[in-house]
Chain A
Protein backbone atom coordinates (compact mmCIF):
# COMPACT_ATOMS: atom_id res chain seq x y z
CA UNK A 1 0.00 0.00 0.00
CA UNK A 2 2.66 2.46 1.05
CA UNK A 3 4.81 1.86 -2.02
CA UNK A 4 1.91 2.38 -4.43
CA UNK A 5 1.11 5.62 -2.67
CA UNK A 6 4.66 6.78 -3.14
CA UNK A 7 4.52 5.97 -6.83
CA UNK A 8 1.32 7.92 -7.19
CA UNK A 9 2.91 10.86 -5.48
CA UNK A 10 5.86 10.79 -7.81
CA UNK A 11 3.56 10.86 -10.84
CA UNK A 12 1.60 13.68 -9.31
CA UNK A 13 4.83 15.53 -8.67
CA UNK A 14 5.73 15.42 -12.31
CA UNK A 15 2.32 16.61 -13.39
CA UNK A 16 2.39 19.42 -10.91
CA UNK A 17 5.81 20.57 -11.97
CA UNK A 18 4.56 20.90 -15.52
CA UNK A 19 1.49 22.74 -14.36
CA UNK A 20 3.56 25.10 -12.31
CA UNK A 21 5.80 25.93 -15.23
CA UNK A 22 2.83 26.64 -17.44
CA UNK A 23 1.12 28.69 -14.83
CA UNK A 24 4.17 30.73 -14.04
CA UNK A 25 4.33 31.74 -17.66
CA UNK A 26 0.65 32.54 -17.70
CA UNK A 27 1.04 34.49 -14.50
CA UNK A 28 3.85 36.60 -15.91
CA UNK A 29 1.85 37.34 -19.01
CA UNK A 30 -1.19 38.14 -16.99
CA UNK A 31 0.73 40.51 -14.81
CA UNK A 32 1.93 42.39 -17.83
CA UNK A 33 -1.53 42.45 -19.32
CA UNK A 34 -2.91 43.60 -16.06
CA UNK A 35 -0.69 46.62 -16.08
CA UNK A 36 -1.42 47.49 -19.68
CA UNK A 37 -5.12 46.84 -19.82
CA UNK A 38 -6.02 48.32 -16.54
CA UNK A 39 -7.65 45.81 -14.30
CA UNK A 40 -10.07 44.11 -16.59
CA UNK A 41 -8.20 40.84 -16.18
CA UNK A 42 -8.09 40.98 -12.49
CA UNK A 43 -10.73 38.45 -11.69
CA UNK A 44 -9.10 35.86 -13.90
CA UNK A 45 -5.77 36.81 -12.49
CA UNK A 46 -6.96 36.35 -9.00
CA UNK A 47 -8.21 32.87 -9.64
CA UNK A 48 -5.02 31.98 -11.48
CA UNK A 49 -2.93 33.41 -8.73
CA UNK A 50 -4.68 31.37 -6.15
CA UNK A 51 -4.32 28.32 -8.34
CA UNK A 52 -0.66 29.07 -8.75
CA UNK A 53 -0.10 29.55 -5.09
CA UNK A 54 -1.84 26.33 -4.24
CA UNK A 55 0.22 24.50 -6.83
CA UNK A 56 3.40 26.02 -5.57
CA UNK A 57 2.52 24.94 -2.12
CA UNK A 58 1.82 21.47 -3.35
CA UNK A 59 5.28 21.45 -4.79
CA UNK A 60 6.68 22.49 -1.47
CA UNK A 61 4.58 19.83 0.05
CA UNK A 62 5.97 17.23 -2.31
CA UNK A 63 9.55 18.19 -1.75
CA UNK A 64 9.02 17.71 1.91
CA UNK A 65 7.22 14.42 1.29
CA UNK A 66 10.55 12.89 0.30
CA UNK A 67 11.86 13.68 3.72
CA UNK A 68 8.71 12.57 5.40
CA UNK A 69 6.88 15.31 7.26
CA UNK A 70 4.12 17.24 5.52
CA UNK A 71 3.11 19.41 8.40
CA UNK A 72 3.50 23.16 8.43
CA UNK A 73 2.07 23.77 4.97
CA UNK A 74 -1.29 25.01 6.09
CA UNK A 75 -0.18 28.22 7.77
CA UNK A 76 2.00 28.92 4.77
CA UNK A 77 -0.97 28.70 2.46
CA UNK A 78 -2.86 31.15 4.59
CA UNK A 79 -0.01 33.59 4.48
CA UNK A 80 0.28 33.36 0.70
CA UNK A 81 -3.40 33.92 0.23
CA UNK A 82 -3.10 36.97 2.38
CA UNK A 83 -0.30 38.27 0.21
CA UNK A 84 -2.41 37.78 -2.86
CA UNK A 85 -5.19 39.76 -1.28
CA UNK A 86 -2.80 42.60 -0.74
CA UNK A 87 -1.66 42.40 -4.35
CA UNK A 88 -5.24 42.65 -5.48
CA UNK A 89 -5.73 45.78 -3.48
CA UNK A 90 -2.66 47.38 -4.98
CA UNK A 91 -3.73 46.51 -8.50
CA UNK A 92 -6.84 48.67 -8.57
CA UNK A 93 -4.66 51.65 -7.77
CA UNK A 94 -0.89 51.83 -7.96
CA UNK A 95 -0.39 54.65 -5.49
CA UNK A 96 -1.68 54.92 -1.94
CA UNK A 97 -5.03 56.74 -1.87
CA UNK A 98 -4.14 58.83 1.15
CA UNK A 99 -0.95 60.05 -0.46
CA UNK A 100 -2.83 61.20 -3.54
CA UNK A 101 -5.27 63.00 -1.30
CA UNK A 102 -2.50 64.81 0.57
CA UNK A 103 -0.92 65.84 -2.71
CA UNK A 104 -4.23 67.26 -3.94
CA UNK A 105 -4.96 68.97 -0.64
CA UNK A 106 -1.43 70.33 -0.58
CA UNK A 107 -2.33 72.62 -3.42
CA UNK A 108 -5.78 73.66 -2.37
CA UNK A 109 -6.72 72.63 1.17
CA UNK A 110 -10.34 73.62 0.61
CA UNK A 111 -10.95 71.44 -2.41
CA UNK A 112 -13.19 68.45 -1.87
CA UNK A 113 -12.59 65.35 -3.92
CA UNK A 114 -14.75 62.26 -4.16
CA UNK A 115 -13.22 58.85 -3.61
CA UNK A 116 -13.94 57.86 -7.20
CA UNK A 117 -12.18 60.97 -8.49
CA UNK A 118 -9.14 60.06 -6.44
CA UNK A 119 -9.12 56.58 -7.92
CA UNK A 120 -9.40 58.12 -11.38
CA UNK A 121 -6.54 60.51 -10.66
CA UNK A 122 -4.52 57.64 -9.28
CA UNK A 123 -4.96 55.61 -12.43
CA UNK A 124 -4.33 58.67 -14.59
CA UNK A 125 -1.05 59.25 -12.78
CA UNK A 126 -0.01 55.68 -13.45
CA UNK A 127 -0.92 56.01 -17.14
CA UNK A 128 0.88 59.33 -17.31
CA UNK A 129 4.05 57.82 -15.87
CA UNK A 130 3.84 55.01 -18.40
CA UNK A 131 3.35 57.46 -21.26
CA UNK A 132 6.25 59.59 -20.10
CA UNK A 133 8.39 56.48 -19.79
CA UNK A 134 7.47 55.40 -23.30
CA UNK A 135 8.32 58.80 -24.77
CA UNK A 136 11.59 58.99 -22.88
CA UNK A 137 12.39 55.45 -23.94
CA UNK A 138 11.84 56.20 -27.64
CA UNK A 139 14.21 59.14 -27.27
CA UNK A 140 16.66 56.85 -25.51
CA UNK A 141 16.49 54.39 -28.42
CA UNK A 142 16.98 57.21 -30.91
CA UNK A 143 20.21 58.10 -29.15
CA UNK A 144 21.14 54.43 -28.93
CA UNK A 145 21.81 54.63 -25.24
CA UNK A 146 21.57 51.69 -22.88
CA UNK A 147 20.28 53.64 -19.94
CA UNK A 148 17.51 56.15 -19.47
CA UNK A 149 18.86 59.43 -18.21
CA UNK A 150 17.45 62.75 -17.10
CA UNK A 151 18.35 64.32 -20.43
CA UNK A 152 15.96 62.05 -22.29
CA UNK A 153 13.15 63.19 -20.05
CA UNK A 154 14.09 66.84 -20.36
CA UNK A 155 14.18 66.48 -24.12
CA UNK A 156 10.71 64.93 -24.23
CA UNK A 157 9.34 67.63 -21.95
CA UNK A 158 10.77 70.37 -24.12
CA UNK A 159 9.55 68.79 -27.38
CA UNK A 160 5.96 67.80 -26.66
CA UNK A 161 3.44 70.53 -26.11
CA UNK A 162 1.31 68.62 -23.66
CA UNK A 163 4.27 68.24 -21.30
CA UNK A 164 4.66 72.00 -21.12
CA UNK A 165 3.41 72.08 -17.55
CA UNK A 166 6.53 70.18 -16.54
CA UNK A 167 8.96 72.58 -18.18
CA UNK A 168 9.69 74.39 -14.91
CA UNK A 169 10.27 71.16 -13.05
CA UNK A 170 12.20 69.15 -15.62
CA UNK A 171 14.30 71.80 -17.33
CA UNK A 172 17.04 70.98 -19.77
CA UNK A 173 20.47 70.90 -18.24
CA UNK A 174 22.51 74.04 -18.70
CA UNK A 175 26.20 74.46 -18.11
CA UNK A 176 26.85 76.19 -14.81
CA UNK A 177 28.99 78.72 -16.61
CA UNK A 178 26.13 79.75 -18.93
CA UNK A 179 23.59 79.75 -16.14
CA UNK A 180 25.76 82.01 -14.01
CA UNK A 181 26.34 84.36 -16.91
CA UNK A 182 22.63 84.57 -17.54
CA UNK A 183 21.99 85.14 -13.89
CA UNK A 184 24.41 87.95 -13.57
CA UNK A 185 23.32 89.62 -16.76
CA UNK A 186 19.64 89.51 -15.91
CA UNK A 187 20.01 89.17 -12.15
CA UNK A 188 19.35 92.80 -11.32
CA UNK A 189 15.93 92.45 -12.94
CA UNK A 190 14.77 90.13 -10.20
CA UNK A 191 16.61 86.83 -10.92
Chain B
Protein backbone atom coordinates (compact mmCIF):
# COMPACT_ATOMS: atom_id res chain seq x y z
CA UNK B 1 0.00 0.00 0.00
CA UNK B 2 2.90 2.28 0.70
CA UNK B 3 3.90 2.01 -2.94
CA UNK B 4 1.14 4.41 -3.93
CA UNK B 5 2.72 7.25 -1.99
CA UNK B 6 3.56 10.03 -4.43
CA UNK B 7 7.10 10.43 -5.60
CA UNK B 8 7.99 14.05 -5.18
CA UNK B 9 9.40 15.57 -8.34
CA UNK B 10 12.69 17.38 -7.92
CA UNK B 11 12.29 21.07 -8.50
CA UNK B 12 14.82 21.07 -11.31
CA UNK B 13 12.51 18.87 -13.34
CA UNK B 14 9.46 21.04 -12.97
CA UNK B 15 8.62 23.48 -15.71
CA UNK B 16 8.60 27.13 -14.74
CA UNK B 17 5.10 27.92 -13.46
CA UNK B 18 5.12 31.45 -14.78
CA UNK B 19 5.72 30.31 -18.35
CA UNK B 20 3.07 27.60 -18.13
CA UNK B 21 0.62 30.14 -16.80
CA UNK B 22 1.46 32.58 -19.57
CA UNK B 23 1.03 30.00 -22.33
CA UNK B 24 -2.30 28.81 -20.93
CA UNK B 25 -3.61 32.31 -20.29
CA UNK B 26 -2.61 33.55 -23.72
CA UNK B 27 -4.39 30.64 -25.31
CA UNK B 28 -7.49 31.22 -23.17
CA UNK B 29 -7.63 34.90 -23.98
CA UNK B 30 -7.47 34.00 -27.66
CA UNK B 31 -10.27 31.45 -27.27
CA UNK B 32 -12.70 33.61 -25.37
CA UNK B 33 -13.30 37.04 -26.75
CA UNK B 34 -16.08 38.07 -24.39
CA UNK B 35 -14.45 37.74 -21.02
CA UNK B 36 -11.41 36.47 -19.23
CA UNK B 37 -11.69 33.00 -17.84
CA UNK B 38 -9.91 32.38 -14.59
CA UNK B 39 -7.86 29.28 -13.96
CA UNK B 40 -7.96 27.31 -10.75
CA UNK B 41 -4.66 26.73 -9.04
CA UNK B 42 -4.98 22.95 -9.22
CA UNK B 43 -5.75 23.20 -12.94
CA UNK B 44 -2.56 25.15 -13.48
CA UNK B 45 -0.61 22.59 -11.54
CA UNK B 46 -2.15 19.86 -13.66
CA UNK B 47 -1.21 21.78 -16.81
CA UNK B 48 2.40 22.10 -15.75
CA UNK B 49 2.55 18.45 -14.72
CA UNK B 50 0.95 17.37 -17.99
CA UNK B 51 3.51 19.33 -19.97
CA UNK B 52 6.32 17.66 -18.05
CA UNK B 53 4.88 14.21 -18.66
CA UNK B 54 4.43 15.11 -22.29
CA UNK B 55 8.14 15.89 -22.58
CA UNK B 56 8.98 12.52 -21.04
CA UNK B 57 6.53 10.76 -23.31
CA UNK B 58 7.69 12.50 -26.46
CA UNK B 59 11.39 12.16 -25.73
CA UNK B 60 11.02 8.48 -24.84
CA UNK B 61 9.17 7.84 -28.10
CA UNK B 62 11.77 9.78 -30.05
CA UNK B 63 14.49 7.84 -28.27
CA UNK B 64 12.91 4.55 -29.34
CA UNK B 65 12.67 5.74 -32.94
CA UNK B 66 16.28 6.85 -32.81
CA UNK B 67 17.44 3.49 -31.49
CA UNK B 68 15.45 1.64 -34.12
CA UNK B 69 17.43 3.39 -36.81
CA UNK B 70 20.61 2.63 -34.84
CA UNK B 71 21.68 6.18 -34.18
CA UNK B 72 23.03 7.65 -30.99
CA UNK B 73 21.72 11.19 -30.89
CA UNK B 74 18.06 12.14 -31.10
CA UNK B 75 17.52 14.64 -33.88
CA UNK B 76 14.61 16.81 -34.94
CA UNK B 77 13.31 14.23 -37.43
CA UNK B 78 12.96 11.71 -34.61
CA UNK B 79 10.85 14.22 -32.73
CA UNK B 80 8.59 14.69 -35.75
CA UNK B 81 8.19 10.95 -36.11
CA UNK B 82 7.48 10.68 -32.40
CA UNK B 83 4.75 13.31 -32.74
CA UNK B 84 3.16 11.27 -35.52
CA UNK B 85 3.30 8.19 -33.35
CA UNK B 86 1.82 9.93 -30.32
CA UNK B 87 -1.08 11.27 -32.39
CA UNK B 88 -0.07 14.90 -32.34
CA UNK B 89 0.91 15.28 -36.00
CA UNK B 90 -0.75 18.68 -36.32
CA UNK B 91 2.10 20.26 -34.34
CA UNK B 92 4.70 19.34 -36.93
CA UNK B 93 4.30 22.31 -39.32
CA UNK B 94 4.76 24.91 -36.60
CA UNK B 95 7.72 22.96 -35.23
CA UNK B 96 9.32 23.03 -38.64
CA UNK B 97 8.66 26.74 -38.88
CA UNK B 98 10.27 27.49 -35.54
CA UNK B 99 13.21 25.23 -36.34
CA UNK B 100 13.69 27.09 -39.60
CA UNK B 101 13.62 30.33 -37.67
CA UNK B 102 16.17 28.99 -35.26
CA UNK B 103 18.47 27.96 -38.10
CA UNK B 104 18.08 31.34 -39.75
CA UNK B 105 18.91 33.07 -36.51
CA UNK B 106 21.93 30.92 -35.97
CA UNK B 107 23.10 31.54 -39.50
CA UNK B 108 22.49 35.25 -38.99
CA UNK B 109 24.45 35.25 -35.78
CA UNK B 110 27.33 33.44 -37.40
CA UNK B 111 27.32 35.80 -40.32
CA UNK B 112 27.20 38.78 -37.98
CA UNK B 113 30.03 37.36 -35.92
CA UNK B 114 32.18 36.77 -38.97
CA UNK B 115 31.34 40.26 -40.24
CA UNK B 116 32.32 41.73 -36.91
CA UNK B 117 35.56 39.89 -37.07
CA UNK B 118 36.15 41.18 -40.55
CA UNK B 119 35.40 44.73 -39.58
CA UNK B 120 37.66 44.39 -36.58
CA UNK B 121 40.44 43.17 -38.79
CA UNK B 122 39.82 45.99 -41.22
CA UNK B 123 39.86 48.51 -38.42
CA UNK B 124 43.08 47.06 -37.14
CA UNK B 125 44.61 47.25 -40.55
CA UNK B 126 43.34 50.79 -41.02
CA UNK B 127 44.60 51.79 -37.61
CA UNK B 128 47.98 50.30 -38.34
CA UNK B 129 48.18 51.96 -41.71
CA UNK B 130 47.08 55.30 -40.28
CA UNK B 131 49.65 54.97 -37.53
CA UNK B 132 52.24 54.32 -40.13
CA UNK B 133 50.98 57.29 -42.08
CA UNK B 134 51.17 59.52 -39.01
CA UNK B 135 54.63 58.26 -38.32
CA UNK B 136 55.51 59.11 -41.87
CA UNK B 137 54.08 62.60 -41.45
CA UNK B 138 55.82 63.16 -38.12
CA UNK B 139 59.05 62.04 -39.60
Query: Contact residue range for chain A?
Result: 35 or more
Question: Could you say which of B4, B43, B54, B62 contacts A191, with CB atoms under 8 Å apart?
Answer: B4
Query: Which residues from chain B contact A92 at a C-beta distance below 8 Å?
Result: 98, 101-102, 105
Cβ-defined contact, A124 with B60, below 8 A: no
Cβ-defined contact, A123 with B98, below 8 A: yes
Query: Which residues from chain B contact A8 at a C-beta distance below 8 Å?
Result: none
Query: Which residues from chain A contact B75 at a C-beta distance below 8 Å?
Result: 114, 116-117
A63 at the interface (CB under 8 A from B): no
Q: A39-B97, A111-B59, A113-B73 are in contact. Are A134 and B31 (CB under 8 A)?
A: yes
Cβ-defined contact, A170 with B50, below 8 A: yes
Main secondary structure of the interface of B (DSSP, over half): helix
Cβ-defined contact, A127 with B101, below 8 A: no
Cβ-defined contact, B40 with A148, below 8 A: yes
Q: Determine the residue in chain B with the shortest Cβ distance to A138.
A: B31
Q: A104-B55, A162-B87 are in contact. Are A36 and B30 (CB under 8 A)?
A: yes
Main secondary structure of the interface of A (DSSP, over half): helix
Cβ-defined contact, A133 with B55, below 8 A: no
Question: Could you say which of B26, B46, B102 contacts A119, with CB atoms under 8 Å apart?
Answer: B102
Query: What's the least CB distance linking B8 to chain A, in Å?
Result: 13
Q: How far is A114 from B39 in the complex, measured between Cα atoms in Å?
A: 35
Question: Could you say which of A133, A166, A183 contacts B28, with CB atoms under 8 Å apart?
Answer: A133
| B interface residues (Cβ-Cβ under 8 A, vs A) | 1-4, 10, 12-13, 15-16, 19-20, 22-24, 26-28, 30-32, 35, 37-40, 42-43, 46-47, 49-60, 62-63, 72-76, 78-80, 83, 86-88, 91, 94-95, 97-99, 101-103, 105
